[in-house]
Amino acid sequence: MKKTLFLNSDICTGCLSCQAACAAERGGGAGAALSALRIEFDPFGGPHSLTVCRQCDPAPCVKACPTGAIVRGEAGWAVDFDLCTGCLACREACPFSAIFVHPVSGKPLRCDLCGGEPACVETCGFGALVYGDAEEKKNRGKGVPDFEQDPELGRGPVKE
CA-to-CA distance for 109 and 102, rounded, in angstroms? 6
CA-to-CA distance for 24 and 51, rounded, in angstroms? 18
Residue 7: per-residue pLDDT:
87
The pTM of the full predicted model, rounded to 2 decimals, is 0.78
Residue 81: per-residue pLDDT:
93
Asked whether residue 80 carries a pLDDT value surpassing 90, the answer given is: yes
Which H or E run includes 122? helix 119-123
3-class SS shares of the chain: helix, strand, coil, % to 5: 30, 15, 55
Residue 143: per-residue pLDDT:
52
CATH architecture of 1-52+111-160: 2-Layer Sandwich (3.30)
* Domain positions in the chain: 1-52+111-160, 57-98
The answer to whether domain 57-98 has CATH 3.40.50.1970 is: no
